[in-house]
Amino acid sequence: MTARGLTMQQLADANASAALNRLAGFEVTAAGGGSAEIVMMWHDGLTQYAGHLHAGMIAALLDTACGFAAATVVGGVTASHFSMNCLKPAVGDRFVAKGTTIQAGRKQIFARAELFAVNGDGEEALVATGETLLVPLNN
């Protein structure tokens, strides 16, 4: 651990230990200093009835990015409240969730994330945002 927060490798290990994250193919591509980035490739099996990425997967990406961003500052955390806003249909070749720690206190941490859909040309479109209130775990 760095001071109190988890390292990129520790978060990659935590990601690999989470069954949903493995099933969906989440990859931790950056983590440190109160931020984290999670990438997931498009998968037809994770869509809803209209062919867009399912809101449950959108929530999972946003929540994971928020939690991992907070964990870089305070160590292990768990969510106590989560909300998201879907801004447009989530369709792309891959998805990038970027989480940021906004405020880290002793008893609660506030983080937010943005989810981008990226097409084959590398163009990004913001498709959803999320906010999470987290509590630290005993590390």
| Residue 14 belongs to some domain of the structure | yes
Range of the domain at 51: 8-136
CATH number of domain containing 70: 3.10.129.10
| Portion of the chain with pLDDT greater than 90, in percent | 96
> Which 8-state DSSP code applies to residue 94?
E
CA distance 113 to 116: 10
Q: How many domains does the chain have?
A: 1
What tens digit of pLDDT does each residue of 73-123 get? 999 999 999 999 999 999 999 999 999 999 999 999 999 999 999 999 999
CA distance 97 to 58: 9
| Lookup: tokens for 106 | 């002793």
| Residue 89 belongs to some domain of the structure | yes
Could you tell me the CA-to-CA distances from 112 to 66, 67, 79, 107 in Å, in that order?
Answer: 6, 9, 12, 17
| Residue 3 belongs to some domain of the structure | no
| Residue 1 belongs to some domain of the structure | no
Q: What is the pTM of this model?
A: 0.95
| Residue 2 belongs to some domain of the structure | no
